[in-house]
Amino acid sequence: MKPVLILSFLFLSCYGHAQPLVTVFESSQGQSTATYHETMEYYRSLAERTPHITIKEAGLTDAGVPLHFVVLDLDAEFDFEKARKAGKTIILINNGIHPGEPDGIEASMMLMRDYALQPQYHALIENTIVAVIPVYNIGGALQRNSHSRANQNGPEEYGFRGNARNYDLNRDFIKADTKNTRAFYETFHAVDPDIFIDTHVSNGADYQYSITHLATQHDKMGGEMGSYIENEFTPKLEALMGKKGTDITPYVNVFNTTPDHEGFSQFLDNPRYSTGYTTLFHTLGFMIETHMLKTFDRRVNATYHFLEAILELAKTDGQRIRQLKVRQSESIKPGKKHALSWRLSKATSKQLKFKGYEGEMIESKVTGQSRLLYGRNKPFVKNIPYYNHYVPAKEVEIPIAYIIPQGWHEIIDRLKWNGVDYQLIQKDTAITVEVYRISKYNTSSSPYEGHYRHNNVQVVVSTESVSFRKGDYIVYTDQFAGRYLVETLEPEAVDSFFSWNFFDTILQQKEHFSPYVFEDVAWQLLQRDKTLRQEFEAKKKVNSEFANNWYAQLDFIYRHSEYYEKAHMVYPVYRWVH
């Protein structure tokens, strides 16, 4: 089915409205996209015409405007808890995270109208609830321009990628620097979707497809849900799209080269990205990327077809997906191994029947060097390798609980925003826990999304008795948010709170020694402590740089003494393992 203008006019007789409900996309013959205000006005008008639609409000965004989500429920109850108990499948569609990529904004407006107003479609969604975020990045949508998507074929005007504070919201799902993300948390946990869709427009390679998909990486999702995504959901989705005449392929993850010789690998959606985040809460997630060089009209229709295919899969597979989600949520258990980072395995590949364009390297008129040129008149269908198998690069054993001293309120806030269950320690007490010391990390030299991120983080672990105070937080991992806890609180995890700079104060020593005073103390320490003396002498022997650096020598003794502060490099979230 294609969204059709004519059908909108038919509603006149049924609903008695003088004007048909037409999107800006439709009235401009596929040239324009609605502004933020036009989009919201459209949904308000739709909600007035049908009892099946309502608009809900979440928290404020950085633009000072609240986030809204629109809900389609044929039973007009709009109660997610009740719907879940009644065995309905819940879908959440997020649009305009990058408002310069408005295809999903337009496709969702038509989809919600068509499925709410046209009774012939109701059979498909009688057991489904569809929630749509009309425009997520409101601040970006308000910054309309015609040039920031340099490679994109329409529409005439669109919003900007950065939000009201120039954050890329599709990197903010863990650190939650923006109010948008907090409003998203509120929406996401209220809706608690079984299927999550995030709509985009691509950059990068050229090929014949109008639309590509980035499924939640199935190895990373893991368990039965991971196998289901890879072996059932995605093939079914591709077949449905084929039937609609809109072929879809995995996102073509190559830049400045063609995929037809070497093939390409699956994009890894780490937790900072939308579907990486929704994976932490066991939701089957898909990003879609329509192709920037196809016309806006064609891209919006491809997005519409995709969303319709999702409704069809929700009907046929909804029950299965809901069961898998429950099992997935129960799979995080203390003592089990859990991956903190992943690497691509090239040991196996899939053959992909790929519809591309021949590419060649020719001399650039601008730089005189070689540049890539795709031959649009040279389409091909070739079998190419597609690498979509990832293996754990680092794993950890899930503890029974994490213990977080109450002072780390930025972390505690984030856990609360994500619906984490916790208990408070009732009285001051010492508990034997695993303690991490940060033994190695690198810090990026340029800012990324407001942070100088840490990577290659390594820890050493010891078991110690640590004093906790009344009011400190015990967070058990055996809960729905267990996976979120492990992948944010383990410092070696790829998008851990540590990597996003929440614990940088422990990386700096607060107290130091005055060398002329410490000289005498150091001498006494060496006399008293034979082991220390031997270590010190041995180090001088093997390390000439150390042997010639008096400050390094005093510092070595200081760090091995009781004067050295306990908090330095000690990660202040503790693992309770038995």
Cβ proximity of 411 and 404 under 8 Å: yes
What separation in angstroms does the CA of 111 have from each of 8, 106, 121?
A: 12, 9, 11
| Residue closest to Zn ion (Cβ) | 200
Phi, psi of 291 (to 5 degrees): -90, 125
Cβ proximity of 250 and 212 under 8 Å: yes
Phi, psi of 259 (to 5 degrees): -85, 0
Q: Rounded to an integer, what is the distance from CA 339 to the centroid of its chain?
A: 16
Nearest approach, Cβ of residue 108 and Zn ion (Å): 15
- Which residues on neighbouring strands pair with residue 172, listed in sequence order? none
Which lies closer to Zn ion via its Cβ, residue 98 or residue 182?
Answer: 98
Per-residue tokens: 415: 């856990």
Nearest approach, Cβ of residue 161 and Zn ion (Å): 7
Tell me which amino acid residue 459 is. Answer: V
Cβ proximity of 91 and 128 under 8 Å: yes
Q: What is the DSSP letter of 506?
A: G
Which lies closer to Zn ion via its Cβ, residue 125 or residue 292?
Answer: 292
DSSP per residue, 356-408: EEEEEEEE-TTTSSEEEEEEEEEEEEEEEEEE--EEEEEEEEPPSEEEE-TT-
Per-residue tokens: 41: 């006005």
- Which residues on neighbouring strands pair with residue 370, listed in sequence order? 363
Nearest approach, Cβ of residue 44 and Zn ion (Å): 27
Cβ proximity of 491 and 459 under 8 Å: yes
Which lies closer to Zn ion via its Cβ, residue 200 or residue 282?
Answer: 200
Pairwise CA distance, residues 578 & 566, whole Å: 24
Which lies closer to Zn ion via its Cβ, residue 201 or residue 240?
Answer: 201
Which lies closer to Zn ion via its Cβ, residue 132 or residue 292?
Answer: 292
Nearest approach, Cβ of residue 101 and Zn ion (Å): 5
Which lies closer to Zn ion via its Cβ, residue 89 or residue 152?
Answer: 152
Tell me which amino acid residue 469 is. Answer: R
Nearest approach, Cβ of residue 105 and Zn ion (Å): 12
Which lies closer to Zn ion via its Cβ, residue 171 or residue 282?
Answer: 171
Peptide bond into 399 cis (omega under 30): no
Which lies closer to Zn ion via its Cβ, residue 128 or residue 290?
Answer: 290
- Which residues on neighbouring strands pair with residue 354, listed in sequence order? 382
User: Which residue shows structure tokens 């997935």?
Assistant: 328
**3-class state of residue 84 by DSSP:** helix
Per-residue tokens: 209: 């497809």
Nearest approach, Cβ of residue 225 and Zn ion (Å): 25
Other C-beta atoms lying within 10 Å of the C-beta of residue 127: 17
Which lies closer to Zn ion via its Cβ, residue 98 or residue 338?
Answer: 98
User: Which residue shows structure tokens 């192709």?
Assistant: 291
- Which residues on neighbouring strands pair with residue 463, listed in sequence order? 434
- Which residues on neighbouring strands pair with residue 471, listed in sequence order? none
Nearest approach, Cβ of residue 201 and Zn ion (Å): 6
Nearest approach, Cβ of residue 160 and Zn ion (Å): 12
Which lies closer to Zn ion via its Cβ, residue 98 or residue 244?
Answer: 98
Nearest approach, Cβ of residue 200 and Zn ion (Å): 3
Which lies closer to Zn ion via its Cβ, residue 225 or residue 252?
Answer: 252
Nearest approach, Cβ of residue 578 and Zn ion (Å): 45
Which positions touch Zn ion (CB under 5 A)? 98, 101, 200
Nearest approach, Cβ of residue 437 and Zn ion (Å): 39
